[in-house]
Amino acid sequence: MEPTQGMPMTKDELGEKVQKLFQDFLEEYPRDSDVKKYIPQAKELTRPDRNTLVVDFSDVEKHDDRLKNAIHEQIYRLYPFLCNAVKNFVKDNQNAMSSSLPDSSAEKAQQINANKEFYIAFENVSQTSKLRELSTAKIGTLMSITAQVTRTHPVHPELVSGTFVCLDCQTVVKNVLQQFKYTQPASCKNPQCANRQRFSLDLNDSKFVDFQKVRIQEIQSELPRGCIPRSMEVILRAECVEKTQAGDRCEFIGTLIVVPDVSKLSSIGPRAETSARVNGSDDNEGVSGLKALGVRELSYKMAFLAYHVAPCNAKFGGKDFSVEDLTMDKLRQSMSDQEWLKIYEMSNDKNLVNNLCQSLFPTIYGNEEIKKGILLMLFGGVPKRTLEGTSLRGDINICIVGDPSTAKSHFLTQVEEFAPRAIYTCGKSSSAAGLTAAVCRDEESYEFVIEAGALMLADNGICCIDEFDKMDVKDQVAIHEAMEQQTISITKAGIRATLNARTSILAAANPIAGRYDRCKSLRYNINMSAPIMSRFDLFFILIDECNEVVDYWIAQRIVNFHTNDQQVIEQSRVYTIADIQKYITFARLCKPVIGKEAQEVMISEYKKLRQRESSNKSAWRITVRQLESMIRLSEALARMQLKEEVLVEHVQEAFRLLSKSIIRVEQPDVQFEENFDSAWTANKIQQPETLGAQEGEQMDTDNKDVQEKKQTMKLSYDEYKRISNMLVYYIRKKEEDIDTESEDSGGVHKSELVGWYLNEIESQIENEQQLNEQSCLIEKILHRLINYDNVIIKLDKLGLKSDGVEQKDENDPILVVHPNYVATD
């Protein structure tokens, strides 16, 4: 900034000294080698799209400890001098290269613009701080913070150094520094001009820089108990803009600054009375300046000025990569020999699946199928895009349904802690806008901006939703699009946008009655609509059963965890968390292709699933989405083994996992009581004439009683349900016929129902012994339907009037179906 009249420019001796020392560091480091580390980067800065030099702060510490301390303690004060050192370093290096090149060289023709500004950024800063620990004592010092981005603002130009023209005498005032607010010269340079307010900005000679503001929030692991996450605004400039998106977990390296709180300043509050109102004048005079704000106090807030942004991904060779820019070849070149050897060793592990499951979930005993399903979700399938532009998702969605105290929530918390980009939320306390995205008004600009929800924050990651069944129906409908198309469409408040939500959903739900009812299929046990269920690739059912061996090992694992948790965890893990993260990051870059034989097996297995649905053995309707689920699971299995082709064994394993979740839980066998009177069977069954006479019937009854004493009568649940539906269907059909016929017709008697059933299965009966077995079986089924299941009601008379038809034989009552009973598969 040029000195104004009567005010000489003061020099910062410390800043000039640091500038010289830092320029020497860039030119000399490392001292013991002829190859200087930062000279190649200086060559890159000559390109028009580059202007920031990234310096490893540990190198500064090794070179000069005093320089390191000065930068750490007063980075905000010394930052302009460090940028000048970088500018001089780049220009000197460019001049040295130009003098050694011939005049016709193309590189010599590329000269640096004299007005181009250069910036400095540091990485690997050891001074880290939590978002909650930032205080005024750390203002102006260099530090590193790790947080999650919740909102990003658009990039706009910021005035760094302005050139102003006096409107009275046309004098030019150059290099007026700007800092977070528009600043005009204090007065005109011309001593004969008394102008102090009337200036215009010369846009051609002023300097602008890209500016972006993002909002960050505390990471859940750093949040104290019972506290609300704190947020802070981060200011990004130059090459740091557009480096992060909502939902990213990043490391910001910079300094803490204080800026005026514009939102408080512009809010509605008491106004000072103008002189016009005091004097009683009717003139409409404007109000301007801080004096017109009356009793207001000018408040300030803290913000973080970031010089460098680094994503918190798995580091290969000490370098960070974004997901979009990664390729297998690029990642392989950046790996160290030790990292590549570890990945090669893990890929050749014959027991890789069990070792990975044991390392990820060391505190959970059993549930191997669920661990394997979650592991496949971490690897994911291969996303595809058709020629028409339709996107086919590769992420796998999993739902865990089970009884209380079966470690459902523990699975979710383990995945949320392990995955580099995961969000944990609860379905009951989450709204549709909180899960997808919300449109809210900015505090400063009063413009509508999009606030990212849980699914947006988990983009390219995992969204863990607990208590999924407690969500409202309208909230479940809101995530239909995100689960299949992996986008979120918003049309409100003048904003029309389609946002990415490329996330896998891991949900946990409780059954409707609290515990899983084995007598019902999956769709009748959970409070979910059919469209939501079809969007889940895998369903896992957890039932709390009493098993002496399982209970012993679960109790042993819990006791060991409570007494010596760290030692137990470390001993049970085969691979470290860092190794697993690197292996999954590398494996997700593999894109296996489905082979010809695997395609044929997929088609045949899908046909089996459809046929199984027709036989009412499926837990819910089988659609084409289940075929796509099989493809994704097969690709995930191939990725896990770093295979370039999906093999038949991968398809068969995917079909096994899919079948395990689609087939309903096996129902227990139905046991019938034997201590009830069955004498009516011998007397009342209306048998066909060809099956024997009265003496044969009495003999069969005696044989049947002896057989009941010898063995217990059992029947599978599916067979019991099939026979029950047959009986209910016959009774209701006869009731419809009775209503259409004469009023004198009686109801369906028990003997008539038994005789009809025996006639229906006549082709299956070959001898007299089988007849007696089926007669006894249908008698016991009717007894259970009447006395326990309350599906059938027996009546003593027909009609509601006193002249109703009385029942003549108590052993042969009239049977009707309960009016509220609905037949199920």
Q: How do strand 462-466 and strand 422-426 relate by DSSP bridges?
A: parallel
User: CB of 795 within 8 A of CB of 746?
Assistant: no
Cα-based distances in Å from 104 to 93, 110, 220, 330: 19, 11, 59, 35
User: CB of 33 within 8 A of CB of 25?
Assistant: no
* Predicted pLDDT at 133: 87
Q: Rounded distance, CA 637 to CA 632, Å? A: 9
Pick from 23-27, 113-117, 408-412, 635-639: least confident: 113-117
Cα-based distances in Å from 489 to 430, 438, 486: 18, 11, 10
Q: What pairs with residue 398 in β-bridges?
A: 506, 538
Task: Report the length, in residues, of the chain.
Answer: 825
* Predicted pLDDT at 774: 86
Pick from 313-327, 509-523, 717-731: least confident: 313-327
User: 130 or 288, which is more confident?
Assistant: 130
User: CB of 492 within 8 A of CB of 450?
Assistant: no
Token code pair at residue 119: 């910036």
Token code pair at residue 203: 């846009």
Amino acid at 654: A
Q: With helix as H, strand as E and coil as C, how does 322-372 read?
A: CCCCCCHHHHHHHCCHHHHHHHHHHHCCCCHHHHHHHHHCCCCCCCHHHHH
Q: Rounded distance, CA 243 to CA 148, Å? A: 13
CA proximity to 430, closest of 405, 453, 406: 453
CA 664, distance to chain mean position in Å, is 27
Highest mean pLDDT among 369-378, 618-627, 740-749: 369-378
| Residues near 297 by beta carbon (within 8 Å), at least 6 away in sequence | none
Q: What is the largest CA-CA distance in the chain?
A: 139
* Predicted pLDDT at 408: 83
Task: Count, in order, helices (H) and strands (E) of the chain.
Answer: 29, 30
**DSSP calls for 779-818:** HHHHHHHHHTS--EEEESEESSSTT-EE-S-TTS-EEEE-
Q: How confident is the model at residue 797 (pLDDT cuts 50, 70, 90)?
A: low
Q: Rounded distance, CA 128 to CA 137, Å? A: 14
Q: With helix as H, strand as E and coil as C, how does 552-576 read?
A: HHHHHHHHHHHHCHHHHHHHHCCCC
Cα-based distances in Å from 82 to 176, 214, 635: 19, 25, 51
User: CB of 218 within 8 A of CB of 147?
Assistant: yes
Q: Rounded distance, CA 91 to CA 665, Å? A: 74
The residue-averaged pLDDT of 149-159 equals 84
The CB density around residue 624, as the number of other CB atoms within 10 Å, is: 9
Residue 308 has pLDDT above 80, yes or no: yes
Q: How do strand 249-260 and strand 300-311 relate by DSSP bridges?
A: antiparallel
User: CB of 809 within 8 A of CB of 820?
Assistant: no
Q: Rounded distance, CA 629 to CA 398, Å? A: 11
Highest mean pLDDT among 453-457, 576-580, 686-690, 798-802: 576-580
User: CB of 504 within 8 A of CB of 397?
Assistant: yes
Locate tokens 């981060």: which residue? 234
pTM above 0.95, yes or no: no
Token code pair at residue 171: 């004098």
Residue 223 has pLDDT above 90, yes or no: no
Q: How confident is the model at residue 234 (pLDDT cuts 50, 70, 90)?
A: very high
